[in-house]
Structure 1
Amino acid sequence: MEILQVNENVTFSHTTFLLLGFPQFTRSRTLLIIPFLAVYVAILSGNSLLIYQIWVEKTLHSPMYMLISLLFIVNVSCTNTILPPFLLSLVFGYYWISLSSCLVQMSFIYLSVIIESAVLVMMALDRYIAILKPLHYHDIMTKHLLYQLVSIALVRGIILVCPIVISVSKVHFCGSNVIQSFACENMVLLNLGCGDISGVHIIALTIRIFVSALDSSLILISYLDILHATMKIVRGQALRKALYTCSTHLIVAMLCYTSGFLSSIVYRIGPAIPVNMQNLTSAIYFLFPAAVNPIIYGLRVKEIKNCMLRVYRRKKVHEPVQN
């Protein structure tokens, strides 16, 4: 097998690692290039298009749409951190990555995940205020408050990511240098460590549970409160519109937390799950929401959809007539 040839011909140091991607597809890895490259292009184009549309369309300069664009920015950032090295590993069969670069990639991945979760909480807060306190919405949900919330989310992300990265950097690596994954995740690196690494596992698991449990609970409580209140005070078309808007955000949040929970469970099971299956669940966790979020918001949010249709119609009008 190609993996064995690489291991035999290369002298490893434990400051450099070999990123293999999907190790059981070494002989047919070119088959993976097309779908993952297509996903990469779709994520970049879909998210970037809607980011551009939100920022150039003045009618979309409200906190709700600014948060949606921030979610797209986080999706693009996380994707650009993961996919380029992985695509190179598919092209060449493997990809060299230093321990410091691996830790930097891990930092950006987890920072993106934590900020994405915070953005979903901010979206729930925005809808809570808009629906339950509509007369005071513009007084409460100001751009200044939005900037403060984003700053808090960024600081929180950095504070929570640092213990994971620092603890992993102190792990003694004495086993294989082959990372049988497409990204530097803490669980993947810890599998290559020696000695007692239970403390590092506990730190990472505690932070993950804290973020997921706290943020998902806040989102669920806020939307349940919205549902309870709107059923009392709103009827007919207004009720349907309020629930439709909330359901869009809920779908995105469910995709995020469900895929993250699935990935975590698969990794915790460990050897009972094939490596490629572990990698596939990680790919779903990191890439699938980023790919479908623009589609969800583009189709379900009326204002965004109308702006896209207006741009399309203007382009059709200005197209030269073929004789």
Structure 2
Amino acid sequence: MMEIFALDVGSGTQDVLVIDDKLKDFKAKVVMPAPTRLFASGIRKAGKDIFCDGYTMGGGAISMALVNHAKKFRVVMTEDAARTVRDDLEQVKERGIEIGAEADMREDYSKFTLRDVDMDSFRSSFKAMNYELPGPRDLVVAVAVQDHGSAPKGMSDREFRFEQIAGIIKKGATFRDFIITRETPVFTRASAVIRSLHDQGYHNVLVMDTKIAGIFGGMYGAKLPAIVMDVGNGHTTAASITEDGSIVGIFEHHTFSLTPNKMKDYIERLANATLTNEEIFNDGGHGAYVREPISPESIIVTGPRRMQAEETGLNIRYATPLEDVYMVGPVGMVRAYQDMKGI
């Protein structure tokens, strides 16, 4: 029996679950600010030139902090770290950030080593609370992050991201098909997580998109078929799941664009297979793909903005695996490991 360190890295929080691979022997749960927010806070307080090395990580708050900092001070980043701001390094430079090495810095500067997952920090924190994480050989690290992917020139990030998701579903997707265990040029952030963990000595690693992990965790214990929706701070993703656990439909939109009537309409037409990619994309969302209709037994909702779904008037229920709404993503990652290993 393996112990799993399951982590869902969002834009607001990072949610940690340490548990056995049967989801029975609970060890620890932690909810704390997301790495992008913690790094952003440090950058805002620096008050001097900064240098960033490390890996590509989630942008959002840290990207904004770096761009704002570059208006007053020098900001120098290695290529990998700079892709946290934009995959296109020319666009990074246009924002006032230099691409370089630590040797380019003057004497007085602050250094930040970027990464989405710092296992030494978690290990030290747990040890201070009298809990010892297993060593790298005896620990599975399962991480959920959102990755728009490395879009080719001429294609938007949102279009490219959804094209990857829809492409998997078109082939007949189960959740196992969304697991990433090796570096890939398509998903730069997921690959950076894998590389970072390997460099830290952890090789039992799997990564999944945070929205897919949230949906997988949200349907834990649910009667299928079902619609499962993750209403996040930035994005809302909903999937239609058949009785055998296959994903046959999905749409993804920006949460702020979804009125109650629009959300209700999209959910109902996701179920009856009349929702189109064009209308979601043209409305500013990522897209939609529906292979076949389902008659859902339930509509399950999770995510930090889940309360918005109540205003649709639909008969929804909230996902609370392990009786904790914050553990939806981590539970999804444990389930991904179970699927991968046939547990």
TM normalised by structure 1 equals: 0.26
Larger Rg: 1
Structure with the bigger percentage of strand? 2
Normalised by the length of structure 2, the TM-score is 0.25
